[in-house]
Structure 1
Amino acid sequence: MALSPSAHVDSFTRDSLPPASQWPTFEFTLPELQYPDRLNAGAALIDRAVERFGADRPALIAPDGTRWNYGELQTRANQVAQVLAEDLGLLPGNRVLLRSPNNPWTVAAWLGVLKAGGVVVTTMHALRAAELEPIIAKTKPSVALVDHRFADDVELAFRSLGAGAVPVVRYGGEGADDLTQRAATKSGVFDAVPTAADDVALLGPTSVSTGVPKITMQFHLDILATAPTAYRAILKAGRADLLAGVKKAVSAGEHLPQETWHHVHDETGLKLINGIGATELLHVFISAAGDDIIPGATGRAVPGYRATILDAEGNEASPGELGRLAVIGPTGCRYLSDERQLSYVVNGWNVTGDTFYR
């Protein structure tokens, strides 16, 4: 597969892609999945939103009452991009590690990294230093943007790897070096780097339980083509009232048990929209909604994807026969320098490791 000329000065991610012969089959069968050769997902997501909905439309509402409209989010994303490019010397293709719970500044940082031509390395804020170390070792970030409450483990992980010189920029705290204060000194005007649609934009660790995380590699176009645990926790705590006013609720990332679906429906009247996805595909690829929802069943392949069940020999399983779920669509698995690519992709299919039957 021929890739477009890259905008990345730092070619680490493109050099680390698996051989094209190991890639899954990609299908772009819908009109909305046709993208230009030059595409920056950060600009497409926020700049186009401002153009379409207007700067004053609400974009983010945080639990603490913080509200940002699209214009404010765009300005802060641009300011983050300016800090990265002007103050920290970020080059297109450099990796930027993010560590934070969900909050408005995390969204601005994520978009800002993409607009600056960087590659986002996503990490959960619950990871400790020892769990961050293998991720950092594999992805080689040039900068880290970290919620000030979770920075100590990041700094410890970098020092343990002999990379203590990598800037760890905190945000949400106080002081002139805080990202929010640095951003406030910037104009908020930034022209996004004209990245290739197939430049890597996102590196996502799938698991660190084994000590050797798999790092998925997603392009800018993958982002645009783009779990029940929370519902169980809400129900266990007797806080179904937290879902009051919710019109639609989606469960994805793992199979939704039938008892959880019924419990949520009995407590709230909501019909959970079930779905299953994978970090490797960056998307829910099987789902059901409305009258198609059948408790205990996941659903059908969403538009743009195809799914089948493979038996032990790699052939299509018969109806009712348990087998391995396999998917083809506009997104798919690309591991960063990892031999496990060979087992995830089989004859062009993404084999997710989930057991299903039809």
Structure 2
Amino acid sequence: MPAVHVPDQFNIASYFIDRNLELGRGKNIAVHEDGRRLNYEQLSEMVNRCGNGLRSLGLEAENRVLMAMPDSAEFVAVFFGAAKIGAVPVPVNPASKPEDLLYFLNDSGARAFLVQEDIWPQIAPLLPRAPELRHVVVLPAVPAQQKNISVETPKGVRYSFHSLSDLSKGAPGNLEPAATSKDDIAFFLYTSGSTGGPKGAVHLQHDMLISTELFSRSVLEFSEKDIAFSASKLFFAYGLGNGSYFPFSVGAGTVYCPLRPKPETILDYIEAFRPTLFFSVPTLYAAMLQVPDKKDLSSIRYGVSAGEALPAEIYTRFQERFGVSILDGIGSTEMLHIFISNRPGDIRPGSSGKLVPGYQAKIVDDSGKEMPPGEIGNLWISGDSAAAFYWRKHERTKQTMVGDWLVTGDKYYIDPDGYFCYCGRADDMLRCSGQWVSPVEVENVIVSHPAVLESAVVGAEDDDGLTKPKAYVVLKQGARAPAPDELRAFLKEKLTSHKVPRWFEFVGELPKTATGKIQRFKLRNP
């Protein structure tokens, strides 16, 4: 695949927002929300007003803007408005604990903090401990309802306090983009913390365009006629592409749901807005299968899954029930989006698919030596959408970003047909009876039992101090818990004996990150 050309002067707001007006797409519907639709002309004006509003606060190039905001047109307006003036948007999960939001404020050194009003009372008392903060801007938890915020202006504080509607309402609707370079800092995205504390991955202006051309355009074949709906939220690297710059790159539409992604809510949104591309994570795909009501998903040409490996059993059940094939893939916050994926006409359930053209990958041992096909090793990936470094984390940057290569921390092997098969995180792999055991392989077989919804497998020591697999199992709604011997007999038909769990523990739910990844380390150390 030819290299993606990015002009030396490049600004993401200019390309993904303004360009749609230049190409005559101004009347295309850009954003679909419950109770509101906005075309590209209206969205562009919102971006400009937010950018001018932020500039009126004195924000300058490379000042960080922390965003704890719901999925909405306002999220897009703040994100691209900040980028348009050369500031650096830093979206984070609005459901984060107050202490975590304080960490994000101080780690990023944000000068401005955009926060939805329902979490303001919890975070406000902590802000005296954020010395670099200068401005707070509050907005409703469901912006499309366009209600006034009910938060009182705090007294005796050293930061200015505004509502987003007031800040942007009086600002001009025109804004020239900052003359940013393609290699200037554009935005931060914090890792989900599945392997430790969150790290701010610093992305440059060109990264979005690379990811768009390599995956969105070439694999998904996004077009102006598409409507995207991402159950994964915009603060998440995966959701940011799905729900903003992928559809914006072609003048397509996107659906925003500011509510928690419960399966019933998501299915109702699909019926109401009729998206053509749906993006989610394996946990939600499995949960959607548990909703008893018959739902019409016929508008969806493909589902896309990432964040955790999609079990073949979930793929098959979903395709049989809804008639929708799911393209499973692997991406990362550091690489911005998906770099290995199944694709239309080339799907192997249970695998992550094949390398997306434009990226490079290799499977290596712990010394960095390449492994032969079929051998389990460490996945390293290379591509121009990679983050430049971790913010204020020099040692972690050196450990993870080795020359042109990103050390993903994932264990993989390549099967004889060239499909990449996920075995788990490097620190999740088990050594049992002198042999490696992939927790993902065992989990996928457990999930194929008709009573099981989800499973997570970790290592536990027996009375002799030897490591054996232990399975935590979540049952389907109303299902009877199978006896351990029954479950063990079921697994022995499909797994070699050293992979069959010694113990089973039935639980109501599994610990997960905000982006849906199972946190097996919490099960190893409950």
Q: State the TM-score, normalized to the length of structure 1.
A: 0.85
Residue of structure 1 aligned with 2:134, choices 163, 166, 180: 166
* 1:109 to 1:159, Cα distance in 2 relative to 1, 3 A: same
Name the counterpart of 2:328: 274
* 1:269 to 1:202, Cα distance in 2 relative to 1, 3 A: same
Residue of structure 1 aligned with 2:390, choices 335, 351, 358: 335
Name the counterpart of 1:314: 368
CA distance in 2, matches of 1:353, 1:44: 33
CA distance in 1, matches of 2:27, 2:118: 31
Which aligned pairs between 1:76-87 and structure 2 lie closer than 5 A?
Answer: 76-86=46-56
CA distance in 2, matches of 1:46, 1:327: 30
Name the counterpart of 2:523: none
CA distance in 2, matches of 1:77, 1:298: 36
- Give 1:148 deviation, angstroms: 2.2
Equivalent pair of 1:40/1:193 in contact (CA under 8 Å): yes
Comparing both structures, which one devotes a greater share of its residues to strand?
A: 2
Secondary structure (helix, strand or coil) at the match of 2:390 reads: coil
- Give 1:147 deviation, angstroms: 2.2
Q: Deviations over 1:66-117 (max 9, x none)?
A: 111011100000000010112x111111000011221111111111111111
Residue of structure 2 aligned with 1:54, choices 3, 22, 25: 25
* 1:55 to 1:271, Cα distance in 2 relative to 1, 3 A: same
- Give 1:247 deviation, angstroms: 1.8
Q: Deviations over 1:204-245 (max 9, x none)?
A: 110346774211000010122223233223223346726442
* 1:252 to 1:212, Cα distance in 2 relative to 1, 3 A: closer
**Residues 1:192 and 2:162 aligned together:** no
Secondary structure (helix, strand or coil) at the match of 2:345 reads: helix
* 1:210 to 1:320, Cα distance in 2 relative to 1, 3 A: closer
Residue of structure 2 aligned with 1:69, choices 34, 39, 57: 39
Question: Amino acid of the residue matched to residue 56 of structure 1?
Answer: K
Question: Amino acid of the residue matched to residue 2 of structure 2?
Answer: L
Secondary structure (helix, strand or coil) at the match of 1:75 reads: helix
CA distance in 1, matches of 2:115, 2:47: 15
Moved over 4 A (4+): 208-211
**Residues 1:288 and 2:342 aligned together:** yes
Secondary structure (helix, strand or coil) at the match of 1:36 reads: coil
Equivalent pair of 1:143/1:167 in contact (CA under 8 Å): yes
Q: Deviations over 1:254-313 (max 9, x none)?
A: 222212211211111111011110000102000121221010111111121011211222
CA distance in 2, matches of 1:347, 1:188: 43
Secondary structure (helix, strand or coil) at the match of 1:225 reads: helix
CA distance in 2, matches of 1:328, 1:180: 42
CA distance in 1, matches of 2:391, 2:293: 41
Name the counterpart of 1:207: 192
CA distance in 1, matches of 2:171, 2:21: 20
CA distance in 1, matches of 2:293, 2:21: 36
CA distance in 1, matches of 2:179, 2:117: 31
Equivalent pair of 1:310/1:323 in contact (CA under 8 Å): yes
Q: What percentage of residue pairs aligned between the two structures are identical?
A: 33
* Higher Cα radius of gyration: 2
Name the counterpart of 1:351: 407
- Give 1:355 deviation, angstroms: 1.0
CA distance in 2, matches of 1:218, 1:242: 38
Name the counterpart of 1:144: 113
Which aligned pairs between 1:106-117 and structure 2 lie closer than 5 A?
Answer: 106-117=75-86
Q: Deviations over 1:168-195 (max 9, x none)?
A: 1012351694212332222310101111
Secondary structure (helix, strand or coil) at the match of 1:183 reads: helix
Equivalent pair of 1:98/1:121 in contact (CA under 8 Å): yes
Equivalent pair of 1:228/1:256 in contact (CA under 8 Å): yes
Secondary structure (helix, strand or coil) at the match of 2:406 reads: strand
CA distance in 1, matches of 2:409, 2:167: 44
Name the counterpart of 1:30: 2
**Pairwise CA RMSD of aligned residues?**
2.1
CA distance in 1, matches of 2:6, 2:95: 35
Q: What count of residue pairs does the alignment treat as equivalent?
A: 326
Q: Deviations over 1:119-161 (max 9, x none)?
A: 0111011101111222222110010122222333443442233
* 1:301 to 1:34, Cα distance in 2 relative to 1, 3 A: same
Unmatched segments (≥5 aa) in structure 2: 141-146, 150-160, 212-280, 415-526
Which aligned pairs between 1:100-139 and structure 2 lie closer than 5 A?
Answer: 100-139=69-108
- Give 1:314 deviation, angstroms: 1.1
Equivalent pair of 1:134/1:211 in contact (CA under 8 Å): no
CA distance in 2, matches of 1:174, 1:46: 27
CA distance in 1, matches of 2:383, 2:83: 24
Name the counterpart of 1:96: 65
Equivalent pair of 1:249/1:271 in contact (CA under 8 Å): yes
Name the counterpart of 1:12: none
Q: Of the two structures, which has the highest relative contact order with CA contacts closer than 8 Å and spacing of 6 or more?
A: 1
Name the counterpart of 1:13: none
Equivalent pair of 2:296/2:322 in contact (CA under 8 Å): no
Equivalent pair of 1:100/1:150 in contact (CA under 8 Å): no
Equivalent pair of 2:69/2:91 in contact (CA under 8 Å): no
Equivalent pair of 2:136/2:162 in contact (CA under 8 Å): no
CA distance in 2, matches of 1:244, 1:313: 48
Secondary structure (helix, strand or coil) at the match of 1:236 reads: coil
Question: Amino acid of the residue matched to residue 330 of structure 2?
Answer: I
Residue of structure 2 aligned with 1:325, choices 354, 359, 379: 379
